[in-house]
Every structure is written in structure tokens, then in C-alpha cells.
């Protein structure tokens, strides 16, 4: 079973899932502009599911336990590459949607999003160095929290209509997504703090 958790499979599944997203967008959209709008939106929904799964995994096992178990490290690496590959494709859809609507991505309001994308792209680099010590585990946690904070702020902005969007989703969708991520972030942070406390007690 663990043989399925590879970087290659993670990228393959991400591409397959995003092709399915394009198919769903093609069925539901009435024109080219809405096609790319839906593609970007459904791709973002997929990113939410993957990221929520990643946070849930780290909340259940904790970085300390994951770093000591090769099979758990393999699963974590696969999840991160799955999220990484999916987010790159999402960026392509999002950029195409902006071009179709004659908008530019390079504007001050998009700076937080650009930072978040940069953080996502840095995850594999950190992971390739392993997670042998608490400093690197804490760094990875901080990056995930930063990504989570962007997701939540994005959902809240949509919830209160700070971001204009054609054919926007119902408000409860954004409220649900923000709430789920907030709970998962708290659970992951709590697990990390407790693991560090146990490690210090055992060392004393």
C-alpha cells in the first residue's frame, strides 16, 4: 500500500484530478469566461480538500512522530507534493481566468496571494531536507499556518463580499471552509506544542 505514496503518483493524481475539474467546468459553464472562472473555483475547492487533509494528518500524528517513522514521512511527503502540484495547476487556471477577463495578477491586492503561492512552492524544498529536528518541524508548521491563514482570510473576504466575484458561492460555503481550517490549524498547533512539551520533559 505504501508503494502508492510516491511523488510521481502524487503529481499524476493531481493532474488527473485537475483534468476532471476542467471537465466539470466545461459541463457547467455557458461561455469561455465562466469556464475558466469555474475551473479556477473548483480547482481551489480541491486545494482546500488536500490542504485540510494535510492538516488533519499532521494533527493526528504530529511532526515529532512523523519524523521518526519512515512510512509516515512518506505519506506526508506525498500529501505535500499532491498539494504542491495541484496548486501549480490552480495558478495556471487562475491566471488564465484573469487574462480572459482582461485583469492583471500583478497588483497590490494580490500580494498576499503571491506570498502564499511562494510559500507553497517552498514546501518541497524544506521537505527534501528531512524533518530530523524540532527547528525544521516548527518551520514546516509555520509555513502551513501561513498558508492556512491566507486561505481563511480569502474565505472571510468572500464571505463579506470584499472580493467581487461573478456567480459567487453561497456565504455558508466560505464560512464552513474557514471554520474547518481554523479548527484544523488549532488542532495541529496544539499537537505540536504538546509534542514539544513531552520532548522537553523526557530530556530533563
Q: Please report where in the chains the cell 466539470 appears, as a residue.
A: 24
Per-residue pLDDT of the chain (204 residues; tens, 9 = 90+): 677 889 999 999 999 999 999 999 999 988 998 999 999 999 999 999 999 999 999 999 998 888 888 899 899 999 999 999 999 999 999 989 888 888 776 666 667 778 888 888 888 887 766 666 778 888 889 999 999 999 999 899 888 877 766 667 788 899 999 999 999 999 999 998 888 888 777 776
Q: Please report where in the chains the cell 494528518 appears, as a residue.
A: 57
Contacts of 85 (CB under 8 A, 6+ apart): 10, 11, 14, 15
Tally of domains within the chain: 1
Domain of 13, in residue numbers: 2-203
Global confidence as pTM: 0.90
The beta-carbon contacts of 70-75 under 8 Å, at least 24 apart in sequence, are 71/2, 73/130, 73/131, 74/2, 74/5, 75/2, 75/5
Contact between 14 and 89 under an 8 Å Cβ cutoff? The reply is yes
Amino acid at each position: 500500500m505504501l508503494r502508492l505514496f510516491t511523488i510521481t503518483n502524487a503529481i499524476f493524481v493531481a493532474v488527473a484530478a485537475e483534468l476532471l475539474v476542467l471537465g466539470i467546468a466545461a459541463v457547467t459553464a455557458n461561455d469561455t469566461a465562466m469556464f475558466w472562472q469555474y475551473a479556477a473555483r473548483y480547482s481551489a475547492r480541491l486545494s482546500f480538500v488536500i490542504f485540510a487533509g494535510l492538516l488533519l494528518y499532521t494533527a493526528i500524528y504530529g511532526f515529532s512522530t512523523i519524523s521518526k517513522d519512515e512510512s509516515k514521512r512518506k505519506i506526508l511527503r506525498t500529501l505535500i507534493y499532491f498539494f504542491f502540484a495541484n496548486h501549480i495547476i490552480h495558478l495556471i487556471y487562475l491566471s488564465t481566468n484573469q487574462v480572459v477577463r482582461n485583469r492583471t495578477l500583478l497588483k497590490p491586492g494580490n500580494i498576499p496571494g503571491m506570498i502564499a503561492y511562494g510559500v507553497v512552492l517552498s514546501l518541497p524544498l524544506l521537505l527534501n531536507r528531512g524533518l530530523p529536528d524540532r527547528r525544521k518541524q516548527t518551520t514546516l508548521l509555520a509555513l502551513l499556518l501561513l498558508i492556512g491563514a491566507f486561505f481563511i482570510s480569502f474565505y472571510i473576504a468572500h464571505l463579506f463580499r470584499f472580493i467581487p466575484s461573478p456567480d459567487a458561492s453561497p456565504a455558508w460555503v466560505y464560512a464552513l471552509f474557514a471554520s474547518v481550517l481554523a479548527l484544523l490549524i488549532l488542532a495541529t498547533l496544539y499537537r505540536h506544542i504538546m509534542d514539544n512539551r513531552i520532548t522537553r520533559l523526557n530530556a530533563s
